[in-house]
Amino acid sequence: MLKILLVTTLLATPSLAQMQHTPGMEMDGGMSTVVGSSPLSEPGQSAFATIAEVIAALEADPNTDWSKVNIDILRQHLQDMDRVTLDSVAVAEEVEGGVRFTITGSATVAPSIERMALGHASVMDGTDGWSYSGEIVANGATLTVLVPDADLAKLKAIGFYGLLASGPHHQQHHWAMANGLGMGT
């Protein structure tokens, strides 16, 4: 994964030899620094952008305890999110009062599925009157979600991937992970 990240970064970044010096660009120690503003707001790929946002917030907080900061655990969680979202298969089975999702993937993806499904069950259980439970199965996990009758159509509509993306807990979860406050994957 690191090799892919490095190659992607190198391909996406023009080499210094190809860069032309333009007004507003200063060369400092072999690295280029663009001075001034940019019309861009996205600093790159999603995981990169999340980490960049966390670093900026940590640097802006004079009370940051750098001895507790752990960006690597956040990066690992973001990798899990990508693997589960992009490389797993979720099959929904209606059960009394809800839906059981069986989420599976390759040997590389299965551990991410386990962490994400079981972690989501523990964090979200009880939210909005929804009951979450998960268990490990071959090549992944199951996530059973029981909801009030009025919410069953919503649960079926959003499915497993919608469940993972729902709710405003992700930012707090990522912030806690980066700050060493627990809430691991």
CA pair distance 90, 93, nearest whole angstrom: 10
Smallest Cα–Cα separation from 64: which of 75, 56, 73, 72?
56
- Strand ranges, E, within the chain: 25-28, 31-34, 89-95, 98-104, 131-137, 140-146
Confidence of residue 184 (pLDDT cuts 50, 70, 90): low
More confident residue, 2 or 166: 166
pLDDT of residue 132: 96
Amino acid at 130: W
pLDDT of residue 183: 54
Mean pLDDT of the chain: 81
Whether the Cβ atoms of residue 126 and residue 139 lie closer than 8 Å to each other:
no
CA pair distance 88, 105, nearest whole angstrom: 5
Whether the Cβ atoms of residue 88 and residue 110 lie closer than 8 Å to each other:
no
Question: Taking residues 77-83, what's their average pLDDT?
Answer: 94
pLDDT of residue 17: 36
**Percentage of residues in the chain with pLDDT exceeding 90?**
58
pLDDT of 4 higher than 50:
no
Question: Taking residues 45-59, what's their average pLDDT?
Answer: 91
Least confident of 40-49, 59-68, 75-84, 139-148: 40-49
Q: What is the pLDDT of residues 83-120, one digit of tens each?
A: 999 999 999 999 999 999 999 999 999 999 999 999 88
More confident residue, 31 or 71: 71
Confidence of residue 168 (pLDDT cuts 50, 70, 90): low
Confidence of residue 129 (pLDDT cuts 50, 70, 90): very high
